[in-house]
Structure 1
């Protein structure tokens, strides 16, 4: 009798567990189905949006393959335009795939086939020099040149913190590759003399090759020598 009672109890317990497991499994399966459907739905919407954006780009032609554009603070050449994404290559040679939907939402400046070039100058004054003074001096040096583009505008940033100095970078843009050697030399001279005027000591071990150059003592006028 006891054995029969225990057997009945076991059967009831197993039945309850089976029912609970079945309900849990069904709920779990349902959640997976809903989640998967949601993910697929969003993915389909993004794909469709990029596809429509690609058709708009191809039809309206805001830029074409070979153009150089300014997009999200980055200069890049258009390598290929596909229906879903556009392939760009920045001036450092890095290739980027941008979804077309993102491209048509952002402001783009198209330089066409006129290839603009970025030039950089580094200086490394000590930590005691006010960063605002450094920025003012470097921007003032850049403003002496007529062949520096105003858009993208010249800018200064802190490139690196060294052991005994701060490495600043002046970034400017030009659109004539033929003048690069002379332009780089003139820009270094302008930075050198402007830093002298502001009494910014740039004599550090990390200084660019400008520190080794010999400059004429006569006043420098980049516009006259351009």
Structure 2
């Protein structure tokens, strides 16, 4: 019985002695690996702070700048981990980690395809110069001021103070109109006057009214005026002029003011803006009228 117990004890002792010897032999490698890990950890903090400051100069979205800074710091830590494993001669472990990371990344990417797509789109939007916070844009049937470009969604504040939240992917995949890229906007007014109006006088009065209320010389643009068609009850025209503005609200205000002033000028000059009128003409008397006439003759 004693011999049976001594054999396993000797085996365990020999294993421990071998492990201890291996540990002693690899103390320099362990020291190097530990030094690399600590250095990578400290360096990652430095990279995080530097990346955060540099990115914030270009991107004003805090969430996006922190994401980029964290990604940079994680890359530094992973690089330190791989170097440490290499110093310990754990090449197979390193290969296994890389393989596992690839498979895990594929599985996570498939599971979070929509979320990752919005996140990547948010980062791309943050770097685009033609769309910034404070811009007035129109996209996907909505128009408003850009108040936030987050990692997953895009926030618009409309003129009526409603907040619209749109996925970043939708913004990136669809066209948008940015009114803030230029300081000038063109306003279009469509109207019609009666057939008995003096068309030359209408054109002169319209352009004069717009010029008095909107300084076109300062902008360096001219007023356009064109008659477009003979309508059912009016001769229709279109006039176009320019204003200084960067939002759709500026355009609406200018258009409203122009309509009011043109209407006042037309009323003062006795120029009619007709509403649709339909005249019915009958070639023969109606049956009822004919019957009434025969009844009167009979009586």
How would you bin the TM-score normalised by the shorter chain? 0.3 to 0.5
Larger-Rg structure: 2
Query: Which protein, 1 or 2, shows the higher relative CO under an 8 Å CA cutoff with sep ≥ 6?
Result: 1
TM-score for the superposition, normalised by structure 1? 0.41
Which has the larger share of strand? 1
TM-score for the superposition, normalised by structure 2? 0.32
